[in-house]
A = this chain, B = another copy of it.
Amino acid sequence: MTEAFSGLGRRLRLGVVGGGPGSFIGPMHRAAATLDGRFEIVGAVLSSDPARGAAAAEALGLPAYPDLAAMLATARLDAVAIMTPNDSHFALCSAALEAGVHVVCDKPLTNSLAEAHALESLARARNLVFCLTHGYAAYPMVRQARAMVAAGLLGDLRAVQVEYLQAGMSQRVEDGPLTKKQKWKFDTSRSGPSLVLGDIGTHAEHLARFVTGRRLEQISADLGALVPNRKVDDWCSALLRYEGGLRGTLTASQALAGTENVITLRVYGERGHLSWQHAANNFLVWAPHGEAPRTLSRGGPGLLPPAARLTRIAPGHPEGLLEAFANLYRDTAEAIAARLTGVPPDPLALEFATAADGVAGLAFIAAARESSRQHGAWTDVPR
């Protein structure tokens, strides 16, 4: 909804891989990428079956490509957006980076820590922008929380609580016929070593790390399945220790019947606390010690620059996840444009998650699994 071209004089050329028919995240990516006019979608690989992919692309009015290699070869991409099953991220991202193309990729970055490190190194070596789509961290009021913490408004941090709760896997479906999506989710060779952590746990981990600005050092975790006889993880509860003595808790589950994508973040410091919940994403509760709690709102009074710059419409007019996702694309475009023009980007545009955050996410998963295997023992999170 802000349509300037950031000094480039043209829209950036984006190719998309994945997000074909039936996908939830595909339309979200495509709408978010184009909302602010910084990208145009110039190529699409919408299925591993080229004919199916071509039909889907035509229905959307997009040029079709049989695979990423073909698209990289001919579509003159500035960037590629990858929204395929987790196990394909490494190869696709590698190919794009090797081709000198900037990358937007869904989380989790990869299915192993080693692959995550490799991608992060590659992106750095090639000096390419890499945006990992932790979209919840791009809500203005989450940015406000981070900025308030960074500004010292909470004083020394004391504790953080984060949770991500879903109901999608609360019923035992494994015995019946599975959808295509369920098939790869229940196949840990594709969805990764811990389904719940890959799907939503890393969102929670990132949210807490992003807002507190602290590295997660140790974890004591209980990982497993709430639903009887389930082979994949659908539950993780964890105790956390961050650098500087900050303690925390994290709960993530996809098997909590009756919940509706509950994401909550609470941060406590010596001088007060902040509380944010996804269902009321346009608001942030700030409870300063010894004062009545205040409900800050997107676009309202008291916003710090990182939140104010992401506010698109007037206060009292709700924004949703689409705008948060579009923030990722707008800022990625700003970062890419900066590389292309040599003009330094707005530092506030560089808050999106990157491959380094993907590494941190995989390190979190590895440590959580190890702690759970070690009967809850505190386990160092690898760097």
A residues with a Cβ closer than 8 A to B are 1-5, 11, 24, 27-28, 30-31, 34-35, 37, 59-61, 154-156, 158-159, 161, 166-167, 170-171, 220-222, 224, 226-228, 235, 237-239, 241, 245, 247-249, 251, 253, 255-262, 268-273, 278-282, 286-297, 300-302, 312-323, 371, 375-378
B-chain residues with CB within 8 Å of residue A226 when the two chains form the complex = 158-159, 247, 268
> Does the CB pair A286–B278 fall under 8 Å?
no
- Write the nearest CB–CB distance from A27 to chain B, whole angstroms: 4
Count of this chain's copies in the oligomeric assembly: 4
> Does the CB pair B316–A318 fall under 8 Å?
no
> Does the CB pair B258–A24 fall under 8 Å?
no
A1, A235, A315 pick with most chain B CB within 10 angstroms: A1
> Does the CB pair A313–B258 fall under 8 Å?
no
> Does the CB pair B253–A258 fall under 8 Å?
no
Given contacts A154-B257, A170-B268, 7 further A-B contacts (CB under 8 A): A4-B59, A238-B239, A313-B321, A318-B319, A319-B322, A322-B322, A371-B376
Q: Return the chain B residue nearest A291 by Cβ.
A: B301
> Does the CB pair A3–B257 fall under 8 Å?
no
- Write the nearest CB–CB distance from A265 to chain B, whole angstroms: 14
A302 to B292, CA, bound (A): 7
Task: Choose from B158, B255, B316 the contact partner of A158 (Cβ within 8 Å).
Answer: B255
